[in-house]
């Protein structure tokens, strides 16, 4: 019914370039590194199985956020994980609030031009031998 990748392309009309794209790359970098670093020390202390599973989900989300892959799903998952952290009084709620809101923003805005999602689902420009430019989606 729909071409491959059409569903993600419909979520984002464009993958932002220029300064907005760099801003999204900066946001993804900050969130991704924080999601990788925060659970790192806790995993060394042999946490309970349930806590360790959430930490590993956080690490996977950090890797996917850094690469910009599956951002609607990953951003929503990050927001939900951070809401859980806010409701469980185990640490600083302000860091969780910041990461959760940035995860939700990335889920809504998209990953930007410099991402795997843009390469897989973005618009492509094809120059034909006849000199006409053809735009198509992948």
Tell me the three state secondary structure of residue 70. Answer: coil
- The whole-number pLDDT of residue 135 equals 56
In a domain, 12, yes or no: yes
Q: Taking the model in full, what pTM does it have?
A: 0.79
Q: How far apart are CA 89 and CA 21, in angstroms?
A: 35
For residue 109, the enclosing domain spans 6-137
Domain for residue 122, yes or no? yes
What pLDDT was estimated at residue 64?
Answer: 97
138 residues of the chain, pLDDT tens digit each: 445 544 555 566 678 888 999 999 999 999 999 999 988 777 888 888 888 898 999 999 999 999 999 999 999 999 999 999 999 877 789 999 999 999 999 999 989 999 998 888 876 666 666 655 555 555
CA 106 and chain centroid, separation:
6
Closest among 16, 8, 39 to 120, alpha carbons compared: 8
With H, G, I as helix, E, B as strand and everything else as coil, classify residue 50.
helix
Per the domain annotation, does 92 fall within a domain?
yes
Does some domain include residue 51? Answer: yes
The answer to whether 53 touches 59, Cβ cutoff 8 Å, is no
- Strand segments, DSSP code E, in 4-107 are none
Token code pair at residue 128: 């034909």
Indicate the number of domains in the chain.
Answer: 1
| 1 within some domain | no
User: Considering the domain boundaries, does residue 73 fall inside one?
Assistant: yes
- The residue among 106, 98, 111, 89 whose CA lies nearest residue 15 is 111
Which residue from 84, 39, 85 is spatially nearest to 61, judged by alpha carbons?
39
pLDDT at position 137 is: 53
> Using CA of residue 31, residue 64, residue 111, residue 20, what is the dihedral sign?
positive
Q: How many CB atoms lie within 10 A of CB 76?
A: 15
> Considering the domain boundaries, does residue 35 fall inside one?
yes
């Amino acid at each position: 019914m729909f071409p491959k990748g059409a569903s993600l392309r419909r979520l984002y009309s464009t993958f932002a370039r220029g300064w907005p794209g760099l801003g999204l790359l900066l946001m993804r970098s900050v969130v991704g590194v924080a999601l990788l670093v925060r659970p790192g020390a806790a995993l060394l202390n042999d946490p309970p199985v349930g806590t360790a599973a959430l930490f590993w989900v956080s690490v996977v989300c950090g890797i996917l956020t850094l690469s910009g892959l599956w951002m609607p799903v990953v951003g929503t998952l990050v927001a939900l994980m951070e809401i859980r952290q806010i409701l469980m009084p185990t640490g600083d709620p302000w860091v969780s609030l910041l990461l959760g809101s940035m995860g939700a923003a990335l889920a809504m805005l998209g990953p930007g031009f410099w991402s795997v999602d843009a390469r897989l689902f973005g618009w492509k420009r094809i120059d034909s031998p006849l000199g006409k430019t053809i735009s198509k989606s992948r």
